[in-house]
Amino acid sequence: MRVLVTGSRGQLGKALESVAPARGHEFLGYDLPQLDVTDADAVRRTVAAAGPDAIVNCAAFTAVDAAETDEPAALAVNGAAVKHLAAAADEAGAVLVQISTDYVFDGWAGRPYREDDPPNPLSAYGRTKLAGEREARAARRHLVVRTAWLFGDGENFVRAIRRQVEGGADSLRVVADQKGSPTYAVDLADALLRLLEVGADGIVHAVNSGSATWSDFAREIVRRLDSSAEVVPITTADAGRPAPRPLSAVLDASRLVSLLGRGLPPWQDALGRYLASKR
C-alpha cells in the first residue's frame, strides 16, 4: 500500500515513517515547505502525482493556547485544509485518514468517551479539529482516528519533564485535575496501518490502554528516570493556561479492539519503551 503522510516531520509522521516499511507499505512523506496543506492546488497536484492508496493527515495546528487568539489560522490548517485533502483523496481513489483529538469532547461525561458520543469542544483548538473531522467525513472513503496526549520523536510532555529532571529540578508543578490517555506515537502508527489493512472506516478511538492525570504521568516519568524530584499537584486554574481543557476526556478504545482483535499496550509499557529508545 502506498501511504502518503502529510505533516511527516511531526511525532506521528516520523513514527509512520519507521513503522510503514516494516509492515510492507511504501511511505511518502510531505511537510512544509514541500507541501502546504492549506494550498488546494498544491494538495491536488501532490496527491495526483503520488497516486497513493491512503492519505494520513498528520498536519495540524497543535498549539492549543495559540489557537485561542488566532482561531482562523488554526481553522485554515485543521479544518479547511482537510477539505482539500478529501477532494484530492476522492480524485485519487484513496482513503483519507484524519487524525483528531480528545479535545473535541468537553470532559463532563463521567466515563470514557465512545465514538458515537456527541462532541462539545471547549476550546478553539477543539472546534477546529472537529471541523476537520466533518470535512474528512465528506470524503467517499474516510477514517477519523481520535487520539490523545501523544508522545514520540519531538516536543512532548515526556520530553519536557525529562528536561526539567535532567536540568536538576527538585520539584515539578503538574496539573492533577485533568485525566486522559497517554499515547505513544509508534503504537498509534502501527494501529493506523493495521486499521487501513482491515479496511476500517468511520470514527475510531486509538490510545494506549489505561488513563492518568498529568501528575500521574509525570510521577511515572520521574520514577522511570530514577529521579527523586517531587511532583507537586496543581489545579488547571493554578496553571493559568489561556485555552480551556477537558477535565476528563479519556477515550474508550473498544471499537479499536473489535476491529483489530486487541488494543494498544498500557501507557506505562509504552512510556518505558519510549524512554529506552531515547537513551
Question: What is the per-residue pLDDT across 82-113, written as a single tens digit (0 to 9) for each?
Answer: 999 999 999 999 999 999 999 999 999 999 99
pLDDT tier at 278 (50, 70, 90 boundaries)?
confident
What are 143's strand-pairing partners? 97, 202
Q: Is residue 114 part of a domain?
A: yes
Q: Is residue 220 part of a domain?
A: no
pLDDT, residue 99, reads: 98
Distance CA 181, CA 167 (A): 27
Question: What is the per-residue pLDDT across 132-183, written as a single tens digit (0 to 9) for each?
Answer: 999 999 999 999 999 999 999 999 999 999 999 999 999 999 999 999 999 9
Distance CA 126, CA 133 (A): 11
Q: Where are the alpha helices (DSSP H) in the chain?
A: 11-22, 40-50, 64-69, 71-75, 81-92, 124-136, 157-166, 185-197, 214-224, 236-239, 254-260, 267-277
Q: Is the pLDDT of residue 279 over 80?
A: no
Q: Is residue 276 part of a domain?
A: no
Q: How many domains, the chain?
A: 1
Across 213-221, average pLDDT: 97
**Would you call 259 helix, strand, or coil by DSSP?**
helix
pLDDT, residue 50, reads: 97
Q: Is residue 62 part of a domain?
A: yes
pLDDT, residue 258, reads: 97
Question: What is the per-residue pLDDT across 31-75, written as a single tens digit (0 to 9) for each?
Answer: 999 999 999 999 999 999 999 999 999 999 999 999 999 999 999
pLDDT, residue 106, reads: 97
Distance CA 147, CA 174 (A): 21
Q: Is residue 202 part of a domain?
A: yes
pLDDT tier at 217 (50, 70, 90 boundaries)?
very high
Distance CA 126, CA 137 (A): 17
Q: Is residue 38 part of a domain?
A: yes
Question: What is the per-residue pLDDT across 188-209, written as a single tens digit (0 to 9) for each?
Answer: 999 999 999 999 999 999 999 9
* 209 neighbors 270 (Cβ within 8 angstroms): no
Distance CA 12, CA 156 (A): 12
pLDDT, residue 26, reads: 97
pLDDT, residue 97, reads: 98
pLDDT tier at 229 (50, 70, 90 boundaries)?
very high
Domain containing residue 105: 2-154+182-208+251-265
Q: Is residue 163 part of a domain?
A: no
pLDDT, residue 193, reads: 98
Cα–Cα nearest to 85, from 44, 144, 115:
44
CATH number at residue 110: 3.40.50.720
Catalytic, 125? Answer: yes
Q: Is residue 218 part of a domain?
A: no
Average pLDDT, the chain: 97
Catalytic residue selected from 30, 113, 125, 274: 125
